[in-house]
Amino acid sequence: MRQSIEEFVAEQRRAGVSENVVGLMVEVVHAIHSGHTAMLLPRSARTTTPTSIETFVADTMVPQLRASSA
């Protein structure tokens, strides 16, 4: 899903992400789109994980977050 920077910022702020962190995330987007930041290697089977972001978040991040807040 594509969204404008403004929509992204509003969504992140509603989710509780601090203004400073959202600003840093927007800087990364601008750096990638302007060519100031680029991947050193193209995507390939060697440089791409078979795990989706959704699976990684559900299986790795969520359990770690729950454990750290317990």
The model's pLDDT over 11-48, given as tens digits with 9 standing for 90+, comes to 999 999 999 999 999 999 899 889 888 778 888 888 88
Distance of CA 3 to the CA centre of its chain: 14
Between residues 67 and 21, the one the model is more confident about: 21
User: Is the separation of the CB atoms in 9 and 25 below 8 Å?
Assistant: no
Is pTM, for the whole model, over 0.85? no
User: Does residue 53 have a pLDDT over 90?
Assistant: no
The model's confidence at residue 3, banded by pLDDT at 50, 70 and 90, is: confident
Predicted pLDDT of residue 1: 64
